Amino acid sequence: MEAFLVSLSTVAIAEMGDRTQLLALVLTAHFRKPWPILAGIFCATLANHAVAGFLGAYFGAYLTPARLDLIVGSSLLAMALWTMKPDTLDASTATPRRASAFMATVIAFFIAEIGDKTQIATMALAAAYSSLIVVVAGTTLGMLLANSPVVFLGNAFSKRLPLKAIHIGASLLFFALGVLFIVRALYHPP
């Protein structure tokens, strides 16, 4: 249960103001079809995070518990710093005019998630926890929780969010989790 809750909360909070949330807003404004967009977010995130989780679990199996906790903790501290830099939407995430809302969302979200902080967090969490399925389920649901309000409420919702406070909160969460993993690393036998 810990793996699921940490995965869910980490991604849900980190997604606030992220470029994929901005992408959800753009897709919603363009297509005005919330259900296919949400389904596309789910499919793209599940595929992307499954790959990231598999890689994290694979490489995590070759590390000692202390080294793994140290790597995960360090990556979470780096993510705490990264979260403080707001994302912007660039031209590489533009969608084709004739694409369906679902396919445009799947393609755009999958590409936008490559190298994103939530993908890296998924990799680190999968390395840290023994259940790949639970971690991927948590990160995928966290992505849906963060993007659903944007998809259904659009511009009105996004303009009311205190993004700076959310970025600070997400950064503090990553920092606290990073410190937790580093402290765990110090208490593992060599």
Question: Which comes out higher in pLDDT, residue 117 or 79?
Answer: 117
Radius of gyration in angstroms for the set of CA atoms belonging to the chain, rounded to a whole number: 17
The range of the structural domain enclosing residue 171 comes to: 2-187
pLDDT one-digit tens code per residue, 167-188: 687 778 778 888 988 998 888 7
What pTM does this model have? 0.73
Distance CA 113, CA 149 (A): 19
Percent of the chain with pLDDT over 90: 36
> Is residue 84's pLDDT more than 80?
no
| Structure confidence at residue 93 (pLDDT) | 46
CB-CB contact of 102 with 41 (8 Å)? no
| Structure confidence at residue 173 (pLDDT) | 78
pLDDT one-digit tens code per residue, 23-45: 888 888 778 889 999 999 999 99
Number of structural domains the chain divides into: 1
pLDDT one-digit tens code per residue, 113-152: 887 888 888 998 999 898 999 999 999 999 999 999 989 8
pLDDT one-digit tens code per residue, 154-166: 756 555 656 677 6
Instruction: Fill in the amino acid letter for 46.
Output: L
